């Protein structure tokens, strides 16, 4: 320990002799470490934001949409005909073991009026299961119940955006709003969820019992009294997603009497997977950013090697003298190695400070979320030490194996 | 008790391109504890090569060199470094002090490569500095010292680890005659009081007259090896110098 401290002191003194040169050499490492920390911070921030968004749509989600139908050889596009019904939803919930919950939804655009204020938004006819699947919680009031759905009650739950636009800051619970000329009583407001991974405002929504929505607001399919738009399905666990998909496909083909060889009249999509792809791309981006920043750290290391080589040449006589008075190979080696590592570690420490400042500035001015983890700071510190050892070794070795006679005679 | 230095038929060849040059052509001699030898001879006669071998900085092409009875021929680089550290002190013509480093730390340098604790290193370095009369200059840097003082720091460095031999290559070559005498006085004292064997390479016959043995080199061979019956006393000669000379030296030192 004492030995290390004294060699550190000797190294610092040697570095002080050429202050400007040492500072410029460190600059390479400072920029490298700061770039790594800031870039990894930006990348981690992006990944974290996408993860939040994926969390906000709910976990293990599968969406079943009406598919294309061909009637007498005429193929209609997806969603052209609502082929799904509430009974399908009930059957899936009852018969597919890999499915935890099913929520039928029916969607349509509506204009809502309250007093002199009005607001256009998207209305969703849903059942209480929807709250489980989408992981919804109430900011105020209650969600409507199965009884409300069965009775076709004229009750509504508002998203935060709708609530703000119609009621300002006041609590809308108990107020009566007009949706497409039909009065609905507001029973609650949802806790805000923010943006979806596709950038939509998930709070600009009004939730109605699916029965009331179909009869009074959105309108159903005359041929199918219990028609629904999509089915939101939650699998029991992430590794049961595939199982749930195949169970549902089999069941729905059976229920819709689709002959083998014919196309499904519905589409099943694994939502989590879609958004997970975005997360992966964000991670790839952060790895790329980190890799590019690492290159500058390596360039900084080459700068250290360069300066250490110059320093060894300049101090040839000193090395010769030290050898003459008894310095062993390892003594000289460690002296120059400690010097290189001191340079790179000092640069690393300053670089960490600069990197933290830079990422704070990026979040403040560019309004990008950045997340600097302790791990990335530690890694940067360790990496800069490694750079010092790696790039300091060659010059140090060169010094340690100088011929003392030649070195003493060097002018 | 074995001789401090014993060489037998030392040969050292260098390759100049592909042609071997015989620099030492069979050197055999012995030095006892307490010898003070002046080595003289023209440039290129092999003095420095011999000093390098005796200083364990180089190995002979053939022949043996025994230091206190043990051969150094089979030792590794690091073992030689350890011998230099423990048994040999070097004094150079150009002092070779570390710049921007205090006199004390310069003297301490050889002790850095021992296992001595920091406190004891300091104490021994200070004692060595006091022995050459520079106890009050321990915090001065070489650039703040006169040439003679710098050489005294270098001698303190050479003796700090209690060596058996001190190898001095033209130690007075860069100094005026009065300072040279001061240096010779220190060497004589080390030689007499601590029985350190001293090898002094010099061109100056006057300086050689302070040694008690004189070896002459010519063409890689020893031409003569003679005991000086009555060596001069540097301290006495120093006292005999006219006082005005003392004044000028002092002015130079303070300037």
With a cut of 80, say whether residue A226 has pLDDT above it: no
Chain B CB contacts of A405 under 8 Å are 52, 57-58
Contacting residues for A50 by C-beta, under 8 A, at least 6 apart = A197, A275, A278, A279, A282
Q: Which residues of B touch A318 (CB under 8 A)?
A: 98
Question: Could you read off the pLDDT of B41-80 as tens digits, one per residue?
Answer: 998 888 999 999 999 999 999 999 999 988 888 899 999 9
For B115-126, the DSSP string reads ---HHHHHHHHH
Helix, coil or strand: residue B11: strand
Residue A200 CA to residue A188 CA, distance in Å, equals 22
Give the residue carrying structure tokens 């997360």.
A279
Q: For chains A and B, what is the number of CB pairs under 8 angstroms?
A: 58
Tell me, what's the pLDDT at A67?
75
In chain B, residues with a C-beta closer than 8 Å to the C-beta of A324 are 55, 57, 84, 90
Is residue A2 less than 8 Å (CB to CB) from chain B?
yes
Mean pLDDT for A297-323 is 93
Residues ≥6 apart with Cβ < 8 Å to A214: A106, A125, A220, A227
Please name the residue of chain A whose CA is at the shortest distance from the CA of residue B84: A326
The ipTM value here is 0.91
**B187 Cβ contact list (under 8 Å, min separation 6):** B36, B155, B166, B168, B171, B198, B200, B210, B234
The whole-number pLDDT of residue B188 equals 95
Say yes or no for a CB contact (<8 Å) between A327 and B55: no
Which of B58, B84, B101 lies closest to A326 in CB terms?
Answer: B84
Which residue is closest to B48 within chain A, CA to CA? A405
* C-alpha to C-alpha distance for A395 and A333, rounded to whole angstroms: 9
Inform me whether the C-beta atom of residue A314 falls under 8 Å from chain B C-beta atoms. Answer: no
**Model pLDDT for residues A365-399, shown as the tens digit of each residue:** 877 778 888 888 898 889 889 999 999 999 999 99
**Which of A2, A13, A328 is opposite residue B81, by nearest beta carbon?**
A328
Judge contact between A15 and A24, C-beta under 8 A: no
Question: Residue B113 and residue A325: Cβ atoms within 8 Å?
Answer: yes
d(CA A98, CA A137): 25
pLDDT of B250: 47
Q: What is the dihedral of CA B3, B7, B8, B12, to 10 degrees?
A: 170
Rounded mean pLDDT, B118-145: 94
CA distances from A360 to A50, A216, A366, A376 (A): 20, 52, 10, 15
In terms of phi and psi (left: phi > 0; alpha: psi -120 to 50; beta: otherwise), the region of A58 is left
Boundaries of every domain in chain B = 33-59+77-254
Asked whether the predicted pLDDT for residue B9 surpasses 90, the reply is yes
Q: According to the model, what pLDDT value does residue A349 have?
A: 93
Nearest partner of B129 among B118, B114, B140, judged by Cα: B140
Residue A318, chain B, CB below 8 Å: the answer is yes
Sign of CA dihedral A132, A136, A140, A141: negative
Distance from CA of B110 to the nearest CA of A (A): 5
Helix, strand or coil, per DSSP, at residue A144: coil
Q: What is the fold of B33-59+77-254?
A: Rossmann fold (3.40.50)
Q: Is residue A227 predicted with pLDDT exceeding 90?
A: no
3-state per-residue secondary structure call for A245-311: HHHHHHHHHHHCCCCCCCCCCEEEEEHHHHHHHHHHHHHHHHHHHHHHHHHHHHHHHHHHHHHHHHH
């Amino acid at each position: 320990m004492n030995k290390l401290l004294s060699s550190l002191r000797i190294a610092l003194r040697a570095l002080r002799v050429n202050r400007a040169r040492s500072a410029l050499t460190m600059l390479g490492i400072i920029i490298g470490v700061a770039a790594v920390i800031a870039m990894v911070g930006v990348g981690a921030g992006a990944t974290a934001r996408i993860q939040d968004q994926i969390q906000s749509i709910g976990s293990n989600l599968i969406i079943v949409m009406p598919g294309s139908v061909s009637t007498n050889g005429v193929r209609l596009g997806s969603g052209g005909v609502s082929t799904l019904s509430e009974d399908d939803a009930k059957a899936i919930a009852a018969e597919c073991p890999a499915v935890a919950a099913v929520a039928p939804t029916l969607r349509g655009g509506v204009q809502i009026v309250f007093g002199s204020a009005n607001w256009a938004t998207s209305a969703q006819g849903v059942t209480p299961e929807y709250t489980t699947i989408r992981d919804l919680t109430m900011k105020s009031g209650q969600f409507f119940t199965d009884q409300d759905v069965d009775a076709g009650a004229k009750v509504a739950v508002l998203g935060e955006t709708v609530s703000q636009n119609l009621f300002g800051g006041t609590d809308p619970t108990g107020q009566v709003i007009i949706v497409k000329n039909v009065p609905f009583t507001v029973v609650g407001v949802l806790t805000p969820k923010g943006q979806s991974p596709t950038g939509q405002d998930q709070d600009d929504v009004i939730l109605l019992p699916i029965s009331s929505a179909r009869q009074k607001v959105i309108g159903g399919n005359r041929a199918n009294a219990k028609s629904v738009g999509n089915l939101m399905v939650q699998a029991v666990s992430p590794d049961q997603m595939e199982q749930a998909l195949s169970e549902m496909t089999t069941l729905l083909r059976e229920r819709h009497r689709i002959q083998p060889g014919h196309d499904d009249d519905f589409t099943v999509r694994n939502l989590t997977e879609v958004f997970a792809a975005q997360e992966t791309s964000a991670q790839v981006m952060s790895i790329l950013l980190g890799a590019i920043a690492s290159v500058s750290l390596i360039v900084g290391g080459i700068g250290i090697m360069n300066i250490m080589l110059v320093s060894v040449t300049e101090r040839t006589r000193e090395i010769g003298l030290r050898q003459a008075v008894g310095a062993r190979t390892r003594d000289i080696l460690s002296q120059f190695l400690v010097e290189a590592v001191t340079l790179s570690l000092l640069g690393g420490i300053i670089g960490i400070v600069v990197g933290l400042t830079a990422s704070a500035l990026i979040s403040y001015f560019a309004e990008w979320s950045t997340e600097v983890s302790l791990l990335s700071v530690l890694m940067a510190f360790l990496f800069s030490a490694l750079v010092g050892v790696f790039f300091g070794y060659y010059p140090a070795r060169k010094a340690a194996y100088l011929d003392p006679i030649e070195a003493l005679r060097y002018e | 008790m074995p001789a401090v230095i014993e060489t037998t038929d030392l040969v050292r060849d260098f390759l100049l391109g592909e042609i071997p040059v015989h620099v030492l052509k069979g050197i055999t001699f012995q030095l006892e504890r307490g010898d003070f030898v002046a080595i003289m001879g023209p440039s290129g006669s092999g003095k420095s090569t011999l000093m390098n071998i005796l200083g364990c900085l180089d190995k002979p092409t053939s022949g043996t060199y025994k230091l206190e009875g043990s051969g150094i021929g089979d030792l590794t680089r690091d073992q030689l470094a350890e011998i230099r550290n423990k048994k040999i002190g070097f004094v150079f013509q150009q002092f070779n002090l570390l710049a921007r480093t205090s006199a004390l730390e310069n003297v301490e340098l050889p002790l850095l490569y021992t296992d001595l604790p920091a406190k004891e290193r300091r104490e021994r370095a200070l004692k060595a500095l006091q022995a050459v009369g520079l106890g009050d200059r321990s915090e001065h840097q070489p650039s703040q010292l006169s040439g003679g003082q710098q050489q005294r720091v270098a001698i303190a460095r050479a003796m700090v680890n209690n060596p058996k031999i001190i190898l001095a290559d033209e130690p007075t070559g860069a100094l005026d005659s009065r300072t040279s005498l001061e240096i010779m006085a220190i060497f004589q004292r080390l030689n007499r009081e601590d029985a350190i064997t001293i090898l002094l390479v010099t061109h100056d016959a006057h300086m050689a007259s302070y040694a008690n043995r004189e070896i002459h080199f010519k063409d890689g061979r020893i031409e003569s090896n003679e005991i000086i019956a009555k060596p001069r006393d540097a301290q006495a000669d120093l006292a005999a110098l006219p006082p005005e000379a003392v004044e000028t030296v002092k002015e130079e030192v303070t300037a």
